[in-house]
Structure 1
């Protein structure tokens, strides 16, 4: 009799514990979904038929091909929201064959032009796309509105001001472009869809973080020269005001964005001499790390502050990360 009572008590405890853990998990997921929705709204990310453009039919139209440090580079364009043609380039790894599948990285440009990621190793972006392609990755880059080949659209701060008239932002516009690019890349047969990464420095780091947060198909995110806090990092007067997203602090903090990437792999890098100060990054990272550990994935996230590194793309650090992660 006592054994039957003990067994019944054990079953009741197990049911209660299981239902409680499921409830907690559901509550956590629900909160993240609410934050994601509010994040999309605050940035002004453009929806397609009420949904993120992750599964939209997006075709890449290819153009001229050239060489960059011995690798083939092909130009392409794709249509984003409002039918704006966004130019981009794809860097093929040595010995590329369409019959094989390749780990793929979307490398987003910071302030400047995407060409800095291709043929300008002297720039702060250090031809990062080509350097990654040298290690066997298929690499896609795109131009940001108001810069490089899209400079004819006007200064990005003017574009930002116009977007704010509709409750959006320049960052929301280019994040949307990046999501359209991700949709296109996920349809390419020689892309290994289980091994897709994002990377970038500065604005490129922001896009890497945002795309990984919004697109669960991203396996690994490399974010350099961006992690900090909305409340402090962008109120010291040293950063471009395009970073100040209207009402973002009413929605959440930057660590909440990082939490959306968990439990997938992420590496945050703020150089010792970067004006995106490591102290600000550490505040957000502590919260992100706690979230990863709560998901039993503490080993999937790291923060580095390389000595002597300023606001620049650390190509070898990024390569090492993706070699381990993809």
Structure 2
């Protein structure tokens, strides 16, 4: 989404001073990881262009009719989309008793809030009636700084802290499938965080540039627990998987599959090379005593079956 702002300051009837700024781009979007449908909030605003000042009545005449309409005939933010209105009603206002003035932007978005010297300064709201996005935030010298919340047309929303138009600090992103809480660093969810999915899976651990990556723990809806290395939202690397019957596998994983050398404990302990697959609500674990590749289901492997209604998503 590209948003261009035009701000007007009128000093006297015969002398108008226009400060025209063009802010190149505001992006309030989500970065998606195909494997786990991770959405990441992102906002970027580059430096504004130099001021253009018009001081004479002669210079003003060509622009007066155009610019005097901006903000003059706006008395509301416009009608919100149904899903935006639903979330807005559910969450309530981020800031109470906002006062200020309306500005109609050239892209037809509407800002309402505090304005000082022709700049957004303080708390306010901005609505894009055509696209549907609703932003509530705090501005310092025309920069989004402090607490802010964006509600998207589909009902997703992000609430968190910003510094100079960039998400920095604690935040929370919520959509129909999950909610993610953690620390955003330069627009990217980074470090320790928590992801709670509607299907019952809970992840606690490390994120890297918006993705589940590093070391963490999954508590799955099927009552199994994984602790160890994670990559792109999946069990990957070395870790420990505790099954819901209290047996466990400790060893190597690849893309949510048991694959590689490891140890399986179920009263007795067996060590070797393992491979797994999931189908028909059953996890099939194949155990080999030799690392030499062999055909699955051959006489050279031992099969262990686990009945699981759900797989490790």
Which TM bucket (shorter chain)? under 0.3
Instruction: Name the TM-score, length of structure 1 as normaliser.
Output: 0.24
Bigger share in helix? 1
Bigger share in strand? 2
Instruction: Name the TM-score, length of structure 2 as normaliser.
Output: 0.24
